[in-house]
Structures are given as structure tokens and as C-alpha cells.
Amino acid sequence: MNKRIVAICSLLEQTAWHYGNHGISEKCCEDLSFAEYTALKTVYENQQSTIQFIGYALNFTKSGATKIINRLEKKGYVIRKISPRDGRFCCVSITDKGIAIISRIVENQTIQLENILKHLTSEKKEDIKIALETLVSALQENKESKPALEDDLKGECC
């Protein structure tokens, strides 16, 4: 077994734990869980997302997606609209309040991470960024794409 890959795997798990629900959420997600924050960010980055799209992005079932959007709507961070083009679809978009909290959270996390990485040289930070980019895009490619979703619903369901 390739030792380097094993090591990367283990490192990824550690960062995942740090950045998952048990590292981040309590400190800087205000009234959002990590899942809710991720969902909200998805909506933020893909205006007029459908419920299915959000579910796909989070690896949730559609009912899971419905519920998380319910919570976000109740808290005032997103709004639902029925698509005029096709009454079955639901267009979820972020509110100003939603944008505000996303900004605050990103800012907080950035400050924290900046502090954690403060001892590293600029080059090292750049290396980390590039490495993560490579990794994430490799992960993305690996995720089997649902063409129907990708093509049809990319930000224009309304």
C-alpha cells in the first residue's frame, strides 16, 4: 500500500475533523450548524438553487435538503419562490440577512485561520493553497456529475 497516500488520507481526516461540526461550528457559526452554513453558502454561490441541487451539493436526500432549507428560511437567511417556468421547482435565494451572516462567518474564520497560520512564510501558505486546490478539484471530478442537474438548473430556474 502506498505510504504517502495513507499519510494524506490520515491528514485529510484530521483536517476534516477540525473543520467539521466539532471544530468550527460552536465557535463561529452563530446560530448555524456546519451543515446549515454549507447549505447557505451553496445558495449564496448558486443563486436560485433548486432544492435538489442543494441536496446534491451536500450529499443529502431531497427531504434532507427540504428540511435544512426550512430551517434557513425560518431563520430568515433564505427565501423560497416557486418557479414561474415550472411549478414543480423551488427557487431558493439568499436574503440580505443571509449574506450578512455569511460575511461575518467568513471573516471570523479567516481571522482564526490567519492566526493559526501566522508562523508560516508566504510561500508555504501559497503551497498549501495550491495543494488544496489540486486536491479539491480532483475530489470534484471524482464526484459523478448528474448532467441533468448541472445543465438545466445552473442558476436559472426562475
Q: Which residues bind DNA (CB under 7 A)?
A: 22, 33, 35-36, 50-52, 59-64, 66-71, 80, 86-90, 148
Exposure of 40 in the CB half-sphere (CA atoms within 13 A): 30
Amino acid, res. 85: R
Among residue numbers 44 through 83, which ones bind its own copies (CB under 8 A)? 58-60
The residue from 82, 84, 128, 150 that contacts its own copies (CB under 8 A) is 128
Q: Find out whether 69 and 94 touch, Cβ atoms under 8 Å.
A: no
| Least Å from the CB of residue 81 to its own copies | 26
CB of 158 to DNA, least distance (A): 11
Sign of the alpha-carbon torsion through 9, 125, 137, 153: positive
CA separation for the pair 86, 54 (Å, rounded): 18
Angle at 80 between CA 63 and CA 34, to 5 degrees: 55
Residues that bind its own copies (CB under 8 A): 1-2, 4-9, 11-23, 34, 38, 41, 58-60, 106-107, 109-110, 113-117, 119-120, 124-136, 138-139, 141-142
